[in-house]
Structure 1
Amino acid sequence: MNRHTATFHIALVFPVLPVLAIVLAIVLAGILSILPALCTAEEAETKKKKDTGILSSYLEQALTNNNALLAARAKLRASSHKIPQAGVLPDPKLTVQYYLEPVETRTGPQRAALALNQSLPWFGKLVLLRKLADHDQALAHAELAATELDVTRQVKEAYIAYSFLGRSQEILSNNLELLRYLEGIARDRYTGGKATYFDVLKVQIELAQIQDKVRTIKESAVPLRIRINNLLGVAPERSRPVPKYLPEISLKKKPTTLHSLALKNAPLLQAAQERITKTETKTKLAQKDFYPDFTFSLKTILTGSAEYGDPPDSGDDPIIAGVSMNLPIFRERRHAKLAEQKAAVQEAQSRKSEQERTIQNQIEQGLYAYQDAKRKVALYREELLPKVRQQLEVAVSGFQSGKNSILEIIDAEKSLLTFELAESRTLADQALAVAQLEAQVGLVVANWQEQP
């Protein structure tokens, strides 16, 4: 019975095995077919993350190590330490006097004196002095924020220039490959008697010129790298990979809102307003100068016992309380100081108004540069570059068939190179305009990690 049962199970298993094998083969084939695509997508995503991390890494290093920012932070710390020093009473003064010749009095000889003096400024002066220290700290905060924006702008500008350099290298390298291909065609046609040696020389001359441009661009990477390293606060000779793309930066804020955003967030305007408030506080302090400051004193005289007789106060140390004050009788000086501070308030207000107009003007210029560059990028991509590439294909095809000369190919090749470099230049100009706008507005108004 067991033997028959075992035989029955084997008979059931063997027919199923071919079916399972077919299913497994189909699944395995599907996995193998999509594996290269998955690997390619994963590599592309890894490269994208690596590339997008370049600028963020630059900004992180700059905000940590840039010398201008380190100085601004140190200034802020110094201003914060000024606050405990301001708005407090001056130190009391202890006076010790020793009489070289004792003064004989009825109650005994006076040999020494001790006095304690405490000055008290007029009411409200200490509060105003404390406010001045608060103003200095607020100014240091605004200046630090402005410095951060400026350093960020410089890093982005240097990154854009470095990216434009890498993109230009790639364009020129592609152009070199095209010229080498054309040189091969020209040589073959010259060998076959279908072209002249002039055609070969023309291609070689153009090839040499492009090679020289490649060398120039590679050499220009050195000062750009040094500039980036200086902004990042690292050694100038530190190597930096050249990005292979130019970021396409688009505004994420409506252009019509940039002016209002700048009025709210621009650190330069905040600093200008703080200077107005500070000069107003100084004006109030100058008004307090028309009133006297007081000094309260407490004094005792060390007296010995009387040598003759027994007076009732013999040997007693007298205690003297006193008050003194300065007399603000020289009014002209005080009026001049008050007029000076009022003029300083007007100056600060005028400077803020001028700063607002300057920021608005720079925002308008930045918007124009951004929109103009965006329009040109669309022109190159949608019209000029497709047509010039088609022109080059027609010229090469005509040259191969003997209908066109090499001059027409060179002319089309130059046009293609010119337009590709011009497109990269406008992309860089578009990103530069956004960097300038962000520096004026005081906010990040674009996504700087976008890929082209």
Structure 2
Amino acid sequence: MIHIKYIITIGLLVITSVSYAQSLNDYIEVALKNNPEIQSFELKHQIAEEKTNESVTLANTEFGAGYFVSEPETRTGPQRFKLSVKQMLPWFGTITARENYSSSLADASYTEITIAKRKLMLTVTESYYKLYALQAKQEVLKEQIDLLKHYEQIALTGVEVGKTSAVKVLQLQIRENELDEKRRVFEQEYLGELVAFNLLLNQDKENNVAVISALEIPTQTEEIEIDNLQLHPELLKYDALYNSVTQAELLNQKSNGPNLGIGLDYINVSERTDMDVLDNGKDIFMPMVSISVPIFNKSIRSKTLQNKLQQEEIEMQKALKINQLTTYLEIASKNRTNARISYETQQKNMEQAVNAEEILIKNYETETINFNDLLDILELQLNIQLNEIEAIKNYYLQSALINYITNN
């Protein structure tokens, strides 16, 4: 089934060349090249292809030799020894059916390679965007810590001129410590995800990864093409398996035919010494033909029933997989929409939170700054920024899952 290989190969090219950023593409290519699981599936496919060559062989040629201990006497002389050769041949078309069956199994194993590659691409993409989110959260926390240090200096100045108390300075310092703790936690999570990412690429777990520094959700989201779902490798796999069972049944029917055997017997004859006869000592050559007929073989009918049931099972499994992929697609689509809604909400909230911060700072020019309100506003801004990063990550994670399902 060459068309299946063509379809799923084109699908991989579409995913890697259109759906992802260039830097992520590079990591995906490294993963596809180095990942041990992919290499294992490729070796398995090579074995399946090699079995196609194995399937076109004939049964072993039989050779025999015999020596007459008591030499039978014939008219032309006593028989001394016997040599024989025999070759069994399958019924017409059996070898072709066997080759087609092996080839169909190789096609089925090829779909396993494609599925493994697509899953690896999805896993690498998910890990990449998790690294982005953890890195971005660390940067946000660093910026807020720097901002708190700035306000700490303002508070210290206020203490000197009597506009605020030293307690406010301590509150700011405590908040800085809390944020630094969160930053260090995110840093450890980043290092753990970095190890997982590098192992997916089968490279040194401590290798640095160039993660994109800024991401935004696009203003327009491309439509989901549900028609492409039928071309998903997880569904093509069932088509390949169904075809392999079809080929197995054709081979089974060929097995119901007789096997032919051809051979040759050679008998060495010694010359008679007691008389001179015509063809004295002439050796015997006897061509042989045999036929093997499966008269009492009930396994053929049983295998036919098994193959029919197996095809029905494959059809049910494919229908189940279609329902699963459709469900995953619907959920991913809704989750991506929710991520966009959350992102837009956080942007509006951030604009208002910045305005609130500016109002507090302007009030400081005329009166004592309310550091409690300031801390509340800064904490609100931090949560908004972290939620925005989470929304961006979720948007791209759901987009990656949609790409995996639809091959857009």
With normalisation by structure 1, the TM-score equals 0.80
Q: Does 1:205 align with 2:170?
A: no
Tell me the SS of whatever aligns to 2:86: strand
Please state how far the C-alpha of 1:410 moved relative to its aligned partner.
0.8
Matches within 5 A, 1:175-190: 175-190=144-159
Shift of 1:103: 3.2
Aligned residue identity for 1:140: S
Q: Distance in 2 between matches of 1:332 and 1:138?
A: 30
Separation (CA, whole Å) in 1 of partners of 2:111 and 2:91: 32
Letter paired with 2:384: F
How many residues of Structure 1 are paired with residues of Structure 2 in the alignment?
A: 389
Residue type of the alignment partner of 1:261 = N
Choose which of 384, 391, 397 in structure 2 pairs with 1:419: 384
Q: Which runs of structure 2 are paired with 1:70-109 in the superposition (5 Å)?
A: 70-109=39-78
C-alpha separation in 2, matches of 1:422 and 1:437:
22
1:36-435 alignment runs, 5 A limit: 53-246=22-215, 248=217, 253-255=222-224, 257=225, 259-264=226-231, 266-381=232-347, 383-399=348-364, 401-402=366-367, 405-435=370-400
Alpha-carbon offset, residue 270 of structure 1: 1.1
The C-alpha deviation readout for 1:76-97, integer Å capped at 9, x for no partner, is: 2222222222234334222233
**Which aligned runs of 4 or more in structure 1 are off by greater than 6 angstroms?**
249-252
Q: Displacement of 1:416 after TM fit?
A: 0.5
Per-residue CA shift, 1:343-400, capped at 9, x if unaligned? Answer: 111111111111122111111112111122122212222x111111112222333355
Q: Distance in 1 between matches of 2:302 and 2:370?
A: 86
Unpaired runs of at least 5, structure 1: 1-51, 446-452
Asked if the contact 1:302–1:317 (Cα under 8 Å) also holds between the matched residues in 2, the reply is yes
Q: Is the Cα contact below 8 Å between 1:164 and 1:424 reproduced in 2?
A: yes
Q: CA deviation at 1:248?
A: 4.1
* Percent identity between the two aligned chains: 21
Q: What amino acid is aligned across from residue 99 of structure 1 in structure 2?
A: F
Secondary structure of the residue aligned to 2:305 is helix
C-alpha contact (below 8 Å) 2:350/2:385 kept by paired residues: yes
SS in 2 for 1:102: coil
- What is the Cα deviation at residue 404 of structure 1? 5.2
CA distance in 2, matches of 1:371, 1:204: 39
The structure whose Rg is larger is 1
Q: Distance in 2 between matches of 1:91 and 1:331?
A: 22
**Residue 15 (structure 2) aligns with:** none
State the shift of 1:153 in Å.
0.8
Q: Distance in 2 between matches of 1:249 and 1:287?
A: 58
Unmatched runs of 5 consecutive residues or more in structure 2? 1-20
Secondary structure at 1:254 match in 2: coil
Secondary structure at the aligned position of 1:435 is classed as: helix
For residues 397-439 of structure 1, what are the alpha-carbon distances to aligned partners after superposition, in whole Å with 9 as ceiling and x for unaligned?
Answer: 3355436521111111111000101111110001101111122
Q: Distance in 1 between matches of 2:171 and 2:120?
A: 47
Change (3 A) 1:310 1:387: same
Correspondences of 1:20-39 after superposition (within 5 Å): none
**1:64 to 1:298, Cα distance in 2 relative to 1, 3 A:** same
Contact 2:97–2:254 (Cα < 8 Å) also in 1: no
